[in-house]
């Protein structure tokens, strides 16, 4: 692992080739990192090297290319273990992203375990990926889906959570950080309260892993999931962390190659953990690229990097709050990574299109959180979200762009 000098934003930005381009003749201002993060050159080089040098399937051959690819692929699991402080690599399942991880837990844990009268707790601010799988579980098991409301600040209070928690609660599934509003949920307290009533806890860490420190042993969560592409790695990759005893008891999610021990016409036995949940040929280059992203992060001063990210977000909320024609949606006491807003008289889609003409990339729409949009009685917002490469100067560019939007719609 290479150690860099102290965190220096200009040097960091030079490692992201996408930032060197111009959009409509203006320097790119990329404020859509919550949708997907840009990739550092180290990750791009890692993926290219797999296809250029080690293009082979894993776990299936004795030739040199396969052995090299296998070693690189399997080695990533230890990097993930260190990132999450998991007890063992057996607790880490490669998946295509947070969505697949939640669906895996729904199919292999919730469906076999829950019964009519049991309750699944989610919150009103969840991503659709943390709603729809539980609605499917409800239909298959007869369990009840209970939703914890958010307040006017876009916050999930412990009082509201306690009010919905009961002895019937068997599973709690909540976001670490809201992708739409940036709200940071009190997951440590939520996990403890859920365990007090005997419930298991799933944490959607798609945004949390990027901006917050995560220690799954200290949190004592039962499941934690994240996507590689939001953590500066390739798309189509992700991790499901689950306690080993739970994975041992859960049936396979899919059947196929590599998840088996022995197949006969009469019976099949399963491979050991975590391979029992990893059927078929995976995205080998993607996983190796994810490992490169994690090692790239390890080489940074993570404390300084997080401080920089939080400073940019705080500055953005301050600058947007100074604009009389802008309304920030969600003002939780603790936020991370993103800020959602409305511009008076302009639909969010128009805001996004005009900002794009100024080289500024933001997300517009419901952010896959339609129940949350319904809670605030709005169809959509514009969202600026930040990464390790974001700067205050980019926030200033956003403000200038919004002033141009205002002139058009005044």
**In-domain check, residue 287:** yes
**What's the domain count of the chain?**
2
Domain ends where: 298, 327, 342? 298
**In-domain check, residue 37:** no
Q: Are residues 81 and 228 in the same domain?
A: yes
Q: Are residues 68 and 165 in the same domain?
A: yes
Query: Does residue 384 have a cis peptide bond before it, meaning omega lies within 30 degrees of 0?
Result: no
- Decide if 148 contacts 164 (C-beta within 8 A): yes
Question: DSSP E strands: which ranges in 108-182?
Answer: 119-123, 144-148, 169-175
- The 3-class secondary structure across 174-242, one letter per residue, is EECECCCCCEECCHHHHHHHHHHCCCEEEEECCCHHHHCCCCHHHHCCCEEEEEHHHHCCCCCCEEEEE
**In-domain check, residue 386:** yes
Per-residue pLDDT at 4 exceeds 90: no
Q: What is the mean pLDDT of residues 150-170?
A: 98
**What is the pTM assigned to this prediction?**
0.96
pLDDT confidence of 7, banded at 50, 70, 90?
Answer: confident
**In-domain check, residue 40:** no
pLDDT of residue 3: 54
pLDDT of residue 6: 67
CA nearest to 380, candidates 362, 398, 364, 368: 364
Q: Are residues 306 and 382 in the same domain?
A: yes
Q: What is the mean pLDDT of residues 355-373?
A: 97
DSSP 379-400: S-EEEEE--TT--HHHHHHHHH
Q: Are residues 309 and 249 in the same domain?
A: no
Distance CA 89, CA 74 (A): 10
**pLDDT tens per residue, range 52-69:** 999 999 998 999 999 999
pLDDT of residue 277: 97
Mean of pLDDT over the chain: 96
- Domain at 216, CATH number: 3.40.640.10
Q: What is the mean pLDDT of residues 189-210?
A: 98
**In-domain check, residue 39:** no
Give catalytic status of residue 368 as yes or no.
yes
Q: What is the mean pLDDT of residues 159-176?
A: 98
Per-residue pLDDT at 321 exceeds 60: yes
Q: What is the mean pLDDT of residues 309-324?
A: 98
Distance CA 399, CA 382 (A): 13
Distance CA 375, CA 23 (A): 35
Q: Are residues 169 and 91 in the same domain?
A: yes
Q: Are residues 62 and 15 in the same domain?
A: no
pLDDT of residue 239: 98
CA within 13 Å, CB half, 84: 32
**In-domain check, residue 2:** no
pLDDT of residue 261: 86
Q: Can you give the residue range of the structural domain that contains 268?
A: 46-298
Q: Are residues 212 and 164 in the same domain?
A: yes
CA within 13 Å, CB half, 144: 12
Domain ends where: 239, 274, 298? 298
Q: Are residues 245 and 269 in the same domain?
A: yes
**In-domain check, residue 200:** yes
Distance CA 375, CA 124 (A): 8
Per-residue pLDDT at 357 exceeds 80: yes
Distance CA 123, CA 129 (A): 12
Q: Are residues 290 and 314 in the same domain?
A: no
pLDDT of residue 410: 76
Per-residue pLDDT at 198 exceeds 80: yes
pLDDT confidence of 397, banded at 50, 70, 90?
Answer: very high
**Annotated active-site residue in 111, 147, 368, 378:** 368
Q: Which residues contact 49 (CB under 8 A, 6 or more apart)?
A: none
Q: Are residues 193 and 145 in the same domain?
A: yes
Domain ends where: 248, 283, 298? 298
Q: Are residues 183 and 155 in the same domain?
A: yes
**In-domain check, residue 63:** yes
Q: What is the mean pLDDT of residues 241-254?
A: 97
What's the distance, CA 399 to chain centroid? 27
pLDDT confidence of 5, banded at 50, 70, 90?
Answer: low
Per-residue pLDDT at 24 exceeds 90: yes
Q: Are residues 294 and 337 in the same domain?
A: no
């Amino acid at each position: 692992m290479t150690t860099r000098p102290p965190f220096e934003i200009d040097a960091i930005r030079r490692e992201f080739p996408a930032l060197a381009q111009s959009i409509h003749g203006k320097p790119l201002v990329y404020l859509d990192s919550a949708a997907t993060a840009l990739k550092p050159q180290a990750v791009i080089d890692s993926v290219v090297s797999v296809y250029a040098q080690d293009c082979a399937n894993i776990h299936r051959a004795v030739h040199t290319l396969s052995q090299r690819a296998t070693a690189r692929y399997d080695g990533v699991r230890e990097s993930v273990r260190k990132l999450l402080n998991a007890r063992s690599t057996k607790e880490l399942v490669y998946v295509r992203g947070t969505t697949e991880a939640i669906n895996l837990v729904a199919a292999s844990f919730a469906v076999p375990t829950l019964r009519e009268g049991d309750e699944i707790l989610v919150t009103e601010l969840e991503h659709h990926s943390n709603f729809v799988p539980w609605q499917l579980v409800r239909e298959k098991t007869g369990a009840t889906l209970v939703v914890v409301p958010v307040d006017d600040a876009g916050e999930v209070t412990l009082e509201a959570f306690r009010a919905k928690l009961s002895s019937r609660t068997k599973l709690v599934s909540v976001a670490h950080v809201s992708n739409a509003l940036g709200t940071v949920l009190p997951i440590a307290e939520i996990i403890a309260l859920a365990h007090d009533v005997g419930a298991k806890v799933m944490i959607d860490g798609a945004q949390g892993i990027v901006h917050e420190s995560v220690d799954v042993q200290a949190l004592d969560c039962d499941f934690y999931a994240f996507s590689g592409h939001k953590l500066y790695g390739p798309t189509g990759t992700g991790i499901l962390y689950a306690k080993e005893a739970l994975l041992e008891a859960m049936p396979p999610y899919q059947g196929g190659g590599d998840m088996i021990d022995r197949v006969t016409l009469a019976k099949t036995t399963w491979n050991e953990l975590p391979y029992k949940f990893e059927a078929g040929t995976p995205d080998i280059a993607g996983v190796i690229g994810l490992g490169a992203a994690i090692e790239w992060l390890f080489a940074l001063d993570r404390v300084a990097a997080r401080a920089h990210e939080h400073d940019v977000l705080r500055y953005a909320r301050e600058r947007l709050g100074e604009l009389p024609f802008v309304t920030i949606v969600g003002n939780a006491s603790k936020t991370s990574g993103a800020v959602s807003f409305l511009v008076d008289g302009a639909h969010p889609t128009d805001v996004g299109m005009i900002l794009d003409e100024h080289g500024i990339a933001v997300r517009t729409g419901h952010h896959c959180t339609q129940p949350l949009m319904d809670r605030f009685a709005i169809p959509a917002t514009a969202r600026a979200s930040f990464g390790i490469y974001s700067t205050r100067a980019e926030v200033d560019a956003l403000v200038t762009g919004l002033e141009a939007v205002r002139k058009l719609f005044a």
